Amino acid sequence: MIMAIDKGPEKIGDLFAEQAKKSAAKRRPAPAYDWQDLALRVIKELNIPDFKRSAVFKVCKQKSRIMIEKCLNDTKELCRSGEKWKYFFKLIGGKNK
């Protein structure tokens, strides 16, 4: 009786395909709430650094979507140079509820 022995991947492409399957399983799921999606958009558009990302999520959860989008648009319009994320937080902090 001949038993089949699992040789593993035969080509280097097979190794990459297996790795891609594993990494696809580890990807983050889609945002559960609209404010999370808005926060991700703000982070992307203003190039928010890693150490300030949690603050963006907090602000997007606490403030209204309209206010966040207004501050985002004002930031993109008024802040032509420098770090836009600092200007965004300045606007958010100065606005009343």
59 vs 9, more confident: 59
According to the model, what pLDDT value does residue 26 have?
61
According to the model, what pLDDT value does residue 81 have?
83
Residue range 79-94, pLDDT digits in tens = 888 889 999 999 999 8
Q: Please state, for a pLDDT cut of 90, what percent of the chain lies above it.
A: 53
3-state helix, strand, coil in the chain (%, to 5): 70, 0, 30
Q: How far is CA 59 from CA 9, 19, 36, 71, in A?
A: 48, 37, 10, 11
CB burial of 31-68 (b: ≥16 within 10 Å; e: otherwise) equals eeeebeebbbebbeebebeeeeeeebbebbeebeeebb
Average pLDDT of the chain, as a whole number: 82
